[in-house]
Amino acid sequence: MQQKAKPAMEQTVQSIQSAEQIERVGDSPIDGEAVLEALRQCYDPEIPVNVVDLGLIYGLRIEGDTVNVTMTLTAIGCPVAPEVMAEVQGRIKEAPGVETCEVDLTFDPMWTPERMTEDARWELGI
């Protein structure tokens, strides 16, 4: 689990919403849907919506028994960033076939409410 500055990403980075968007390297027994389901159990402590529907997951990469996550938070300086990252890592490691999970935090591009799914908007009354 790392919290470090990442190189600038294109502003066209899409939030991961489906298993088809997950990058796969080689063969892996890990089911992408199981990884997404694990992430849907992780919530922003200030907003009652999971990290997938909030649009906080920018990248998922599965290689062998390892999952790499690139994510953001709703605000820079979030005091619970380590806890959110640890929850993401722990939940993913509970998915079948996952031995290792690395979580990288980035704020490039910054999160905006436009990244939320329609379900998240409905849940929040937006």
Q: What is the pLDDT of residues 33-92, one digit of tens each?
A: 999 999 999 998 888 899 999 999 999 999 999 999 999 999 998 888 999 999 999 999
Q: Where are the domains of the chain?
A: 2-112
| Residues near 40 by beta carbon (within 8 Å), at least 6 away in sequence | 50, 51, 52, 53
CATH number of 2-112: 3.30.300.130
pTM of the model: 0.87
In whole angstroms, how large is the CA radius of gyration of the chain? 14
